Structure 1
């Protein structure tokens, strides 16, 4: 079974778009003969994220950790107990392409690190900021970016290294580093880029929003 794991903290505004894109990717994988299940890990949500997720018929986990590493870890543990053999991770403010799951499996690897792209830049994000961001980002095969919004892991390799650590940030980077150290076969690809938000209100400190803010500060 393929498991899709999505952590969410007060993401009612964006979660529906995420789950709609995931459903399209799930449908393609199921048409190819794969069983797929989706779980949204609702971490300390005080908005209507749960109601949004329920409308999409996915599994829900409620935790009170306010920690993205813990949320991903809980989601993975839940799906492993259900028999998952592949873990596909994305974020609640992101939208995956239709071929996302099949492309990950097609890489024939233990770990697949994909790229992201900004779908809609915000008005405050100037042309200079966009230029600087693109100059520092390698949207190509063999890149070395790690994004929790676009990450696939073989369940056996994941369990071998102890899974996501309960870190408030960079839990994805730590997991991939642990997998590299274990000798896991990793593919770094740009073939199935995930659209992510250029939001200013970061849900995880030192995440993508804070990275963009740091680039903006560099220009000032």
Structure 2
């Protein structure tokens, strides 16, 4: 069984998860095991994943996590993978499209000594035109800059390495480091920044891999608008909006 496991948390993603699974099946490096974590869905998300498992070019496990929250689903999936022999864990989301070199880039970065690999996110080309993608790119760059200059992220607070932009839907981490830092926080959301800062207190082996690319859904941009999305990425929560529309 492969040392690399890919985890995909999914909540009510029946309309989108099929494209994500097809993108994973199109990877150049398919020597991995996939875990889809159905996170309290009330649609056919799990059924679509089980149907895919029958034709997938790699082993697939479909889990059910009743405790809603992306941190809950990710932690359940990662711990299941580690319990079954995973040494490297990669994650994307059920509304994202990993480009064909995604798993190969994650494995290569880990082989070079990275303990946490932070990939590059782009907007999905099937959801927005050039202007929408440019806006998304600007928001990501703004969030990355904010993270670097934010006083709470400075190394004087005990961090061993500078802040790097970390998108939970495009990352890889060694199983050893995941267990060392206590795993992904199950709450509160967003959990990605909390996890990154746990890692920064334990290792300097945090690497940005620009060739590890995931096309990210921009539906939060449509649901929240420009200012609402900026608020979310700048760690101010959804404001007047309800739960994350993923």
Structure 1 segments of 4 or more deviating over 2 A? 120-123, 129-140, 209-213
Compared CA separation, residues 211 and 66, structure 1 to 2 (3 A)? farther
Partner residue, 2:107:
105
For the structure 1 residues 169 and 4, does the alpha-carbon distance in structure 2 shift closer, same or farther, using more than 3 Å as the test? same
Deviation at 1:138, TM superposition (A): 3.8
* Structure 2: unaligned runs, 5 residues or longer: 54-59, 145-161, 232-246
The answer (yes or no) to whether the contact 1:42–1:62 under 8 Å persists in 2 is yes
User: Aligned-residue CA RMSD in angstroms?
Assistant: 2.9
| Superposition deviation, residue 24 in structure 1 | 1.8
What CA distance in whole angstroms lies between the structure 2 residues aligned with 1:102 and 1:115? 14
Q: Give runs of aligned pairs for residues 1-220 of structure 1, distance below 5 A.
A: 1-25=3-27, 28-30=28-30, 34=31, 36-57=32-53, 58-107=60-109, 108=112, 109-120=114-125, 127=131, 131-138=134-141, 144-200=164-220, 210=224, 212=226, 214-215=228-229
Match of 1:205 in 2: none
Kindly provide the CA deviation profile for residues 109-152 of structure 1, in whole angstroms up to 9, marking residues without a partner as x.
111001211123757x994x655443343499x99321111000
Corresponding residue pairs, total: 202
Q: TM-score, normalised by structure 1?
A: 0.81
Distance 1:76 1:211 in 2: 32
Aligned pair in 2 of structure 1 residues 114, 160: CA closer, same or farther (>3 Å)?
Answer: same
| Contact 2:123 2:136 survives alignment (8 Å) | no
TM-score (norm: length of structure 2): 0.73
Query: Retained in 1: the 8 A contact 2:5–2:35?
Result: yes
